Amino acid sequence: MKTKILPKRKNIAIVAHDNKKQEMVSWAERNRDVLRTHRIFATGTTGKLIEEALDAPVHKFMSGPLGGDQQIGARIADGEINAMFFFWDPLEAQPHEPDVKALLRIAVLYNIPLASNTSSADFILKSPLFDEEYDMAVMDFEDYLNRSLPK
C-alpha cells in the first residue's frame, strides 16, 4: 500500500440519475457553503442543475449515458477526482448500467470517498477530514502492471 495526500480543496464529482436529480440538487443547496469551497465536476444535466443551485462554476462532462460516467472514471483513475457523490437510482434500470457499474468499481478501486445517498453524502461532507489534507491509502499497482503474461 502507498499513500497519497488529498488536498484541502477537493475535486468533487457529482452524478445523479434522473429520478435522483432533485434530491441531489436539494442536498447541494443545503450544503452550498461547503461545496463552493471545492472544485465541482459533474455529468451533463446534473452539472447544469448543480451550477444553478450553487451559483458557482461546475466543470460539466457529457451526460452519463453519452460517456460522462466514463469521463469521470478516467479522471478518478488519473488521480484528478478526490471524492464522488453519486445518487443512483436502485429502483430504475439504466440503459448505461455497465458504465454505472464501471464508475462505481473505479471509485472503489482508487479508494476515493463515495456517497450514494444523502446520509452518506452528509457523513462524508461533514467529516472533519474532508476540509483538510488527508493522507489516503492507495493500492500499489506496480506488481500488476509488471506481471508476466502467458505467451
Q: Which is it for strands 39-42 and 58-60: parallel, antiparallel or unpaired?
A: parallel
HSE-CB at 126 with a 13 A cutoff on CA atoms is 10
Q: Are 104 and 31 in contact (CB under 8 A)?
A: no
- The answer to whether 47 is annotated as binding is no
Verify whether residue 143 is a known catalytic residue. Answer: no
- The answer to whether 44 is annotated as binding is yes
How many C-beta atoms surround the C-beta of residue 38 within 10 A? 19
β strands within 17-145, DSSP E: 39-42, 58-60, 83-87, 114-115, 134-138
- The answer to whether 43 is annotated as binding is yes
- The answer to whether 64 is annotated as binding is yes
The CA distance from 125 to 147, in Å, is: 38
- The answer to whether 17 is annotated as binding is yes
Among candidate residues 69, 122, 131, 135, the one labeled active-site is 69
Catalytic residues: 69
**Can you say which residues are annotated as belonging to the binding site for substrate?**
17, 21, 43-46, 63-64, 96
